[in-house]
Chain A
Amino acid sequence: MMRNKADNKNIKAALTIATAALLGGNSTVSAETVNSTDDSAWEFDSAFLFYSEADRVSASEAIFNAKKTFEDDEVLNLKLTVDALTGASANGAVAQPNVQTFTRPSGNGQYDVAPGDTPLDDTFRDTRVQINGQWTQTVADDLTASGGVHLSKEYDYLSLGINGNLAIDFDRKNTTFSLGFSYFQDTFTPEGGIPKPFASMLIGDSSDPGWDEEFAKTRIGSEDDKTTTDILLGITQVINRRMIMQFNYSYSMVDGYLTDPFKIMTVVDNDGLAQDYVYESRPDSRVKQSFYAQSLYHFDTTVLDVSYRYMWDDWEITSHTIDSRFRIPLSDSFGTESYLQPHFRFYQQGAADFYRPFMMENDPKPAFASADYRIGEMTAYTLGIKYGRLINNGHELSFRLEYYRQTPTDAGFDEPGVLKEVELYPSIDAIIAQVTYSF
């Protein structure tokens, strides 16, 4: 036990030096000086998550978070996130009774989809690195200010963001009003460029000499961008010794390129047979609003955490989210504390006004259209369990295992001919597994 304790301290000391060096602080700081200062000044969280959909995408994500609390309760938080994604993703087209051939988003090569199968593009592969920094401090009695920066980089995507938050305490700190603001600037440089809205997907031999020229006619540029501005208003209220509540209102404006350049739609005839595949097109602005309420209640030993969110936007999407966790401490054994925490989440959304699972050949062309099931009508739920164990020095090790199921539903679209025979709204099942170590 003593050896373990010493090892843990050394790891923490080494990480403290490494973090200080990264911050550009005095890199000659020695292990002795770190050990002699307050050992609780730095807190580290590390986590690894694995997400896997049956027959589709799988993702691995690692987070490392370092938090330092200074003498005047100033808090510096630094977070590094790395994730990798591989696998197949729905391209937006509908299943057909025959083999279908599609061109990859890059324009280099084709892929075939078997009869009756939902068309999936299996070329998705991406690695992302994200860095966040946040500084929080008291600026006056009962007034706390916080500011942060965000950077996220993928092969084909760059996101830069800033945020600020002010919180004012009232009534013996039982009531807190907060006002937050965040701004993101994102640039998308998809491989193969930005497709022309509603242009037909070019299908043929990509090694043909005239291919590149023909493919370029379906493109309007190499990159595009979008900005996101969020305003968040919140109230936190202590109800009594056992209960605390929070209410938030948020307003979010997104402007710019909101289309998914990898998504297409099937154009069918009156028999439901595919005649063409066209690139989707979404409006270049979206205003989202939401109301969020959360309540925590401490029973004798257990804690119940329940939240509800209602979201609505000017694409006519509305959604309800209920998220709940129940923490059950397990009886102390050998001086260690542990808990179990079941998790249940329910989500239901309505479709965007321009969502449609496919287009009819003879219908007039709409201003906007997308067959992306993620903006269609859908119900989803998550069932999970977390086991956490406090080990020596206040370190915590936890495991989380969850099952997530998405069930897209029919919002009342007619299904001509062969489309009655195929699955237009396939469900998606995913497993989420996570290990977290805090020290």
Chain B
Amino acid sequence: MSQINENSSMPSSLDNRRRMRTKFIQKGKLLLALYGLVLPTSISLLIFSYYPKIDVFLMSFFRWQPPSVREFIGLRNFVEAFSDPVFWQSFQLVGILLVANLIKLWPGILAAIALNRIKSDRLRYFTQVCFVVPMIIPSMIFLLIWKSFYDPDFGLVNRFLNASGGMEFLNWMDTAMPALSLKLAPLQTQFVDPVFGSVGGLILLGAFIFAASRRKELDRNRWGDYATLMAGALILPLAQLINPSPNTLYVLSIIGLVVAWMLWCAKRMGSAWIAWPFLLLAGVAVFHAELWRLPVCLLATLVLVEVIRSRKDEYEARPYFRILSLFLIGTGIFIIFLGNIWTQPIEQFKEGTPAWLGNKDLVIPAILFWGFPWVGTVGVLIYLSGLQNISQDVYEAARLDGVSPIGMIFKIELPLIMTQVRINLIFMTIGTLTMYEIFLILLGPDGGPGGKGMVPGLYMFSSAFSEGRFGYACALGMVLFVIILLLTIVYQKYVKVDK
């Protein structure tokens, strides 16, 4: 550019060049200043945020114990992780916690609704402030005070139970519940286990039926979809059948196959596929000893759905499906609760000083009860922001239609803050999968008595910092990361669909 300028206009060329130069210098100076301004952020994020995350990925392929040991071992960390019973068990605990989250959600939602409905502005603001105050106290203090609640001698939980007669009730339950489970045992061993594989299989069948009945049209395409699902269910059993002692390459190719299947499934079935990979994954976990049951279970589901749908149309069939799946799931949960949890007397309640955090049977109930009434400030504020967007007209119209205040919760407020509830559910899910501070503080790095309180994050923490297996910890972290990434993607899609 500057050369053309020079040649074309002789008289002002010197002037022009100077102007260009000052402009250029000015621009350079500006750029330099700007880069200087953004430099601290970029450098610090690159070093302290990106580098560790990339390093996790790399080091998961190493046997690594800083500062001395550092040896490339390929995928052995991952193979070990997948065959590590402690790791699997930790996901079992996560499953329990996730189910509990669905219950723990409610007090917060109701609190937000009640808060939003307070008429006087001043009182509402005051209550809102009250909800914020617990955030101000360091969370560690709450943790430690709750820990003191569970102390066998001093703890207020035991004191309260002793004073109110709850302890006697628990003591009575301690003999009654195992007796009940003994009565239920024949039903389980003679009927449920041979037919469904396990109680989990029963619940899974219910979930399969529910998911399969969501299809609305009876078009030709469905056979292709069924075949796709069947193929997905068959991948792992067949893989196990062909080569029972897999090496790394084999495992990798199977994983590749599964991913390819998921992509194909997503392309073919659109948003209807979302539930299926998870259901099949759950199926693999449930039937891990007898994988052939998974395709059989799926086949039974599809046949059942086809048979019912061939007699009834969509609207008529829906209640049948709903009742059937709810019955199966309900029965499964019933059997689990009454027959599989409290099977042995715990024998802690007699003296009135059960060690809630020190007994392997009591740890999980104690953790589930932890933080009662489970109202998180952030959750309440998220719901509140949704509730405040509901216009008064909606309430007015509902009132004219004669909707009662309690009916309004389910007909207006809950549907309208569903987005917020989902957002919160995402946070809770990710939090449950990643968070381990509570378990570390309450139970120590080994996950308490019998390792019952071991969550994946804590296992990662303790394998790095107690056992010194840093590379293995990185591999565990990568597995966790992939699971969370998948969940987040699915959730994002799910949330957007409804917006």
Pair from one complex: no
